[in-house]
Amino acid sequence: MPSPLVEALGPNADIEIGSTILGLPISLWIALAIISLYGLSRSGPNAAKLRRIPGPWLYAATGFRLAFDAWQARSVHAILNLHRRYGPVVRIGPNEVSFNSLSALRAIYGAGSGFERTDFYRMFDVYGRPNLFTFGSGKLHRDRKKLLSHIYANQTVLGPEFSRLVQEKVDGFLALVEREPEHASEIFGSLHYFSLDAISEFVYGPEHGGTRALSGSKQSRDLIQDILNPARRRLAWFAVHFPAYTKWITTRTGLLERVLTSLGLIPMRKPFTYTGIRQHALTAFHSFKNAPPVVRAGAAENTVIGRLFKVQEAASLTDMDIASECADHLLAGIDTTADSLMFMIWALSLPQHEEYQEKLRAEVLRSPIDHKGLPIPKELTHLPYLNAVVRESLRLYSPLPTFEPRSSPVDTVIDGYEVPAGTIVGMSPFCLHRDEDVFPSPSSFRPERWLTSSGTLITESDQQNRYFWAFSSGARMCIGMHLANAEMFTLIAALYRKYRTSARHPDTSPGITSRFEVFSDQTMPKMVEHECWIDFVKLKEGS
């Protein structure tokens, strides 16, 4: 007879009953369940309104049900299944509703919507200070964004200075393929070197925090170890669902820490996620701060940190405000770009997608190059097939595919349902990009879906473009979008001008960690997290 826990969680729970459940002591699961069940939905006018929203009773009754999906690294997958069963509006918690429609996208995330970020994002504060990503207040976010919008503008990124930075890092990646072919072939790691070197120099400059992972610096490469540990998912899960417990248990030291660790009650062994990268960011901050005034002034227009120091007094920024902001930009620019490039190259390297790689190569070989033989970032924005490949990859393998929570201080109506003030609402690129009415065969990698019959890009007003949400939208749209595109376009174009790629394990999808989720290509029979092997074959001249 199945246990009550298995019955409550459903037939797909996939748990093992014994001394532990999914790696945690049963006693801890019982304690967490009791804490969560204490938050059962209450009666009252708000509860009555939310009861009208479709969804399974257990999700509506307790947040523990969705938390369990998240523990299995599949909460967004579960939400997609609920949308397919119940429609574009579904209740996923006692006070949480997921939407999956264009009208809801405008209502929640559009300009002037009144919805703001929840306290969920405070887990991404750095050095105890909020930043552009974690501000709940729309005004605070706007004020901070104004300070940095110019340096991230498309015109600035595609200008000569930052184009040169991107080209240098692309050249460094190609050199790595030549110099360390086997090391470069594991592209989850080698592409993280590329993205780390690019964003660190963009944020701090080459002398005060710019890394040298591509050229072989062990110190720089070791920073990536912060990202590799899958246990970071467990720590993120605890931080979201049991923040007080997480804060207490992760600050224990000495004998108590050793006892808790031996009992399996600490989500992740020290050092915790991003410890090394955040320390590097703090060292870079102090290095720049202590640089001569003339050096700081010279970096005001070509680094994030230089810009923030220039406006520090006028914008009333503390040192830790600047340190937090810069560290967040550094962290945000590593995983996202590297993971996107990894899936892009992997998809193009599958035997069933050989025709896509050939079409892409034919196009990029016709594109202008500079005196070093490198593609010119600005010119690449006009290539339709390259754009289609990048957009299709971002649709299918969004680097941040998870649920983006928001709340409103006033009652609202979304898609015909009353949403009480304070209700957590949200959407996810993962679900939006898999709407079968908008994207036929949504699990298939098909770059042509972004092209007209004549081979040009579909118009911006096309329904598919309106549903494309890889970089979010509205005021909270990713500030680094243009830099990420420049990096991806240039590396892909340069790589396929010189190499033919093939997947070493064509039946295995790479998997990435995003918060407490794992994302991969679910059409593949196998998945390996944080690993992807690609073989590079150099093309003959003129081929």
The CA-CA-CA angle for residues 255, 258, 260, to 5°, reads 110
425 or 27, greater pLDDT: 425
User: CA–CA distance from 481 to each of 157, 172, 370, 384 (Å)?
Assistant: 10, 22, 24, 18
Distance CA 523, CA 443 (A): 7
| From 20-24, 32-36, 38-42, 531-535, the region with the lowest mean pLDDT | 38-42
5 burial via Cβ count (<10 Å: 0-12, 13-18, 19+): middle
Is 311 a member of any domain?
no
How crowded is residue 276: how many other Cβ atoms within 10 Å of its Cβ?
Answer: 16
Q: Rounded to 5 degrees, what are φ and ψ at 136?
A: -80, -40
**What mean pLDDT comes out for the span 248-256?**
74
Q: Residues annotated as binding site for heme? A: 478
Instruction: Please tell me the predicted confidence (pLDDT) of residue 170.
Output: 98
Q: Rounded to 5 degrees, what are φ and ψ at 42?
A: -95, 165
Nearest to residue 126, comparing CAs of 238, 273, 289, 266? 273
Strand order through the sheet with 508-514? 517-519, 508-514, 526-529
Q: Residues annotated as binding site? A: 478
Is 6 a member of any domain?
yes
User: Which amino acid type is present at position 303?
Assistant: T
**What mean pLDDT comes out for the span 119-131?**
88
Distance CA 97, CA 90 (A): 6
How crowded is residue 19: how many other Cβ atoms within 10 Å of its Cβ?
Answer: 9
**What mean pLDDT comes out for the span 55-75?**
91
What mean pLDDT value characterizes the chain?
89
Radius of gyration for the alpha carbons in the chain, expressed in angstroms and rounded: 24
State in Å, rounded, how far the first CA of the chain is from the last one. 64
Q: Is residue 225 a contact partner of residue 59, using CB atoms and an 8 Å limit?
A: no
Question: Parallel, antiparallel, or unpaired: how do β-strands 417-419 and 412-414 relate?
Answer: antiparallel
Task: Tell me the two tokens of residue 435.
Answer: 């709407």
Evaluate if residue 108 carries a pLDDT over 80: yes
The total number of structural domains that make up the chain: 1
Confidence of residue 274 (pLDDT cuts 50, 70, 90): low
Distance CA 463, CA 444 (A): 18
Q: Is residue 345 a contact partner of residue 187, using CB atoms and an 8 Å limit?
A: yes
Give how far the C-alpha of residue 43 lies from the chain's centroid of Cα atoms, to the nearest Å: 37
Convert the pLDDT of each residue in 193-235 to its tens digit.
Answer: 999 999 999 999 999 999 999 999 999 999 988 777 777 787 7
- Largest separation between any pair of C-alpha atoms in the chain: 74
Nearest to residue 147, comparing CAs of 330, 314, 347? 314
Is 3 a member of any domain?
yes
**What mean pLDDT comes out for the span 18-34?**
55
Q: Is residue 148 a contact partner of residue 479, using CB atoms and an 8 Å limit?
A: yes
Is 10 a member of any domain?
yes
Is 180 a member of any domain?
no
Range of the structural domain that residue 13 is part of: 1-29
Q: Is residue 164 a contact partner of residue 486, using CB atoms and an 8 Å limit?
A: no
Peptide bond preceding 420: is omega within 30 degrees of 0, i.e. cis? Answer: no
Convert the pLDDT of each residue in 398-435 to its tens digit.
Answer: 988 999 999 999 999 999 999 999 999 999 999 999 99
Convert the pLDDT of each residue in 167-203 to its tens digit.
Answer: 999 999 999 999 999 999 999 999 999 999 999 999 9
Confidence of residue 288 (pLDDT cuts 50, 70, 90): very high
Q: Is the dihedral of CA 482, 537, 174, 203 positive or negative?
A: positive
Is 25 a member of any domain?
yes
Is 67 a member of any domain?
no
**What mean pLDDT comes out for the span 36-54?**
68
Distance CA 269, CA 271 (A): 6
Nearest to residue 442, comparing CAs of 468, 420, 405, 472? 468
Instruction: Please tell me the predicted confidence (pLDDT) of residue 64.
Output: 87
Q: What is the DSSP string of 380-423?
A: HTT-HHHHHHHHHHHHHT-SS-S-EEEE-SS-EEETTEEE-TT-
Q: What is the DSSP string of 175-208?
A: HHHHHSHHHHHBHHHHHHHHHHHHHHHHHH-TTT
Distance CA 131, CA 143 (A): 11
Instruction: Please tell me the predicted confidence (pLDDT) of residue 32.
Output: 59
Is 11 a member of any domain?
yes
**What mean pLDDT comes out for the span 239-245?**
78
